[in-house]
Structure 1
Amino acid sequence: MNKAVNDRVWSGTWVADRLGVELVGDDRLTDLLGLALRRNPKRAHLLVSNVLGKHVPQSPSVVYGHGFALGRRVRALLGDQEAARAVVLGYAETATGLGHSVADGVALAPYLHSTRRPVPGVAPAGGFEESHSHATSHLLLPENPALLAGEGPLVLVDDEFSTGNTVLNTIRDLHERYPRERYVVVALVDMRSEADAGRLEAFAREIGARVDLVAAASGTVKLPEGVLEKGQDLVTRFEDSHSGARGTARQAPTGPQPAYNRVDLFWPRDLPDGGRHGFTPQHRIRLESALPAMAARLAEALPSDAHRVHILGFEELMYAPLRLARELEQVAEGVEVTYSTTTRSPVLAVDDPGYAIRTRLTFPAHDNPADGPGDRYAYNVAGAGFDAVIAIVDDTADT
Structure 2
Amino acid sequence: MTAPWPGEWVTSRLGLALSDAHSPVGLTLPGLVGLAVRRNPRRAHLLVSTVLGKHVPTDPRLVHGSALLLGRLVADVLQPLPGGPEEKAGLLAEAGLRGEPGAAAGLRDLLTAHRRVLGAVVVGYAETATALGHGVADALGEAVYLHSTRRPVAEVRPYGGFEEEHSHATSHLLLPVPPGLLESEGPLVLVDDELSTGRTVRNTLRALHAVRPRRHYVVAALTDLRDEADRAAMAGLEGELGARVDVVALVTGRVGLPPGVLEAGRELVARVERGMGRSQAPERAPGGVRRVRLGWPAGVPEGGRHGFLPVHREQLEKELPAMAARLAEALPAGARRVLVLGFEELMYAPLRLAEALADLLEDTDVRYSTTTRSPVLTVDDPAYAIRNRLVFPAHDDPADGPGERYAYNVDQGFDAVAVVVDEAGDTPALEHGLLRGVRRLGAEALVAVIPS
Is structure 2 residue 156 aligned with structure 1 residue 122?
yes
Report if the CA contact (8 A) 1:21-1:223 is conserved: yes
Aligned-pair distance for 1:370? 3.5
CA RMSD of aligned residues (A): 1.4
Deviations 1:360-384 (A, max 9, x none): 11111121333222111000002x1
- 2:350 aligned partner: 321
How far, CA to CA, are the matches of 1:306 and 1:55 in structure 2? 23
Q: Report the Cα distance in structure 1 between the residues aligned to 2:161 and 2:397, rounded to whole angstroms.
A: 18
Distance (Å, rounded) in 2 between the aligned partners of 1:337 and 1:282: 28
How do 1:249-288 residues align onto structure 2 when only pairs under 5 Å count? 250-253=281-284, 255=285, 257-288=286-317
Alignment match, 1:296: 325
Query: Do 2:342 and 2:370's aligned partners in 1 also have CA atoms closer than 8 Å?
Result: yes
Equivalence for 2:202: 168
State the TM-score, normalized to the length of structure 1.
Answer: 0.94
Give % identity: 61
Q: Which residue of 1 aligns with 2:7?
A: 12
Q: CA deviation at 1:150?
A: 3.2
Off by >3 Å, runs of 4+ in structure 1: 82-85
* 1:52-78 C-alpha deviation (Å, 9 max, x unpaired): 000011000000000011112222321
Aligned pair in 2 of structure 1 residues 336, 322: CA closer, same or farther (>3 Å)?
same
- Aligned-partner residue type, residue 154 of structure 2: P
Whichever residue aligns with residue 63 of structure 1, its letter is: V
Alignment of 1:70-109 (within 5 A): 70-79=70-79, 84-109=118-143
Matched positions, count: 386
Q: How many Å separate the matches in 2 of 1:252 and 1:195?
A: 49
Cα distance between partner residues in 1 of 2:138 and 2:282: 41
Distance in 2 (CA, whole Å) between partners of 1:286 and 1:279 is 11
183, 186, 189: which is aligned to 1:149? Answer: 183
* Structure 1 unmatched runs, 5+: 1-6
Contact 1:151 1:181 survives alignment (8 Å): no
Q: Verify: 1:36 aligned to 2:31, yes or no.
A: no
Question: Would you say the 8 A contact 2:130–2:304 is kept in 1?
Answer: yes
Mapped pair 1:377 → 2:377: no
**8 A contact 1:110–1:278 mirrored in 2:** yes
Once residues 389 and 183 of structure 2 are traced to their aligned partners in structure 1, the CA distance between those partners, rounded to angstroms, is 41
| Alignment match, 2:386 | 357
Counterpart contact for 1:150–1:178, Cα < 8 Å: no
Bigger mean CA deviation after superposition, 340-349 or 65-74: 65-74
CA apart distance, 1:270: 1.6
Task: Give me the whole-angstrom Cα distance separating, in 2, the residues matched to 1:279 and 1:150.
Answer: 13
Equivalent residue of 1:393, what SS? strand
Which residue identity does 1:43 align to in structure 2? Answer: R
Contact (CA 8 Å) 1:83, 1:153: kept in 2 or not? no
Which amino acid in the other structure matches residue 162 of structure 2? F
1:200 match: 234
Matched-pair contact (CA < 8 Å) for 1:117–1:368: no
- Separation of aligned partners in 2, 1:103 and 1:208: 25
Partner of 2:422: helix, strand, or coil?
A: coil
Partners of 1:247 and 1:362 within 8 A in 2:
no
Decide whether the 8 Å contact of 1:39 with 1:232 is kept in 2: yes
The unaligned stretches of length 5 or more in structure 2 are 22-26, 81-115, 428-452
Contact (CA 8 Å) 2:119, 2:140: kept in 1 or not?
Answer: no
Contact 1:34 1:356 in 2 (8 A): yes
